[in-house]
Amino acid sequence: MTITASTPRPVGDTGLTLTALGIGSAPLGGLYADVSRDQALATLECAWNLGIRYFDTAPMYGLTRAEHLVGHVLREKDDSYALSTKVGRLMTTERHGRPLPPEPPKNPLDPGFVNALPFREVFDYSYDAIMRSYDDSQQRLGLRRIDLLYVHDIGPVTHGEANAHHWNALTKSGGFRALQELKSAGDIKGFGLGVNEWEVIRDALEETDLDCCMLAGRYSLLDRDAEDSFLPIAQKRGVALALGGVYNSGILAAPKGGRRKFNYADAPAEIIARVEALREVCDGYGAPLAAAAIRFPIRHPAVTSVVIGAKTPEQLQQNVEWFGTELPDGLWSDLEAALLATKGH
The answer to the question of residue 38 being in a domain is yes
Residue 10 has what pLDDT? 97
The answer to the question of residue 165 being in a domain is yes
For the chain, what is the mean pLDDT?
93
Residue 249 has what pLDDT? 79
Q: Give 251-308 pLDDT, tens digit per residue.
A: 898 887 766 777 777 788 888 899 999 999 999 999 999 999 999 999 999 999 999 9
Task: Please give the backbone phi and psi of residue 292, each rounded to the nearest 5 degrees, phi first.
Answer: -65, -40
Give the model's confidence band at 345: pLDDT under 50 very low, under 70 low, under 90 confident, else very high. very low
The answer to the question of residue 281 being in a domain is no
Beta strands in 60-203 (DSSP E): 82-87, 89-92, 120-123, 148-152, 190-195
The answer to the question of residue 104 being in a domain is yes
Domains held by the chain: number: 1
**pLDDT at residue 93 tops 90:** no
The answer to the question of residue 73 being in a domain is yes
Q: Give 159-214 pLDDT, tens digit per residue.
A: 999 999 999 999 999 999 999 999 999 999 999 999 999 999 999 999 999 999 99
List b or e across 38-61, with b for residues whose CB sees 16 or more CB atoms inside 10 angstroms. eebbbbbebbbebbbbbbbbbbbb
Q: Give 296-327 pLDDT, tens digit per residue.
A: 999 999 999 999 999 999 999 999 999 999 99
The answer to the question of residue 91 being in a domain is yes
Active site residues: 56, 61, 86
Give the model's confidence band at 103: pLDDT under 50 very low, under 70 low, under 90 confident, else very high. low
Lowest average pLDDT, out of 97-111, 222-236, 247-261, goes to 97-111
What CATH number is attached to the domain comprising 236?
3.20.20.100
Residue 229 has what pLDDT? 93
The answer to the question of residue 345 being in a domain is no
The answer to the question of residue 335 being in a domain is no
Cα separation of the two ends of the chain: 39
Query: In terms of residue numbers, what domain contains 79?
Result: 8-269+298-328
pTM beyond 0.75: yes
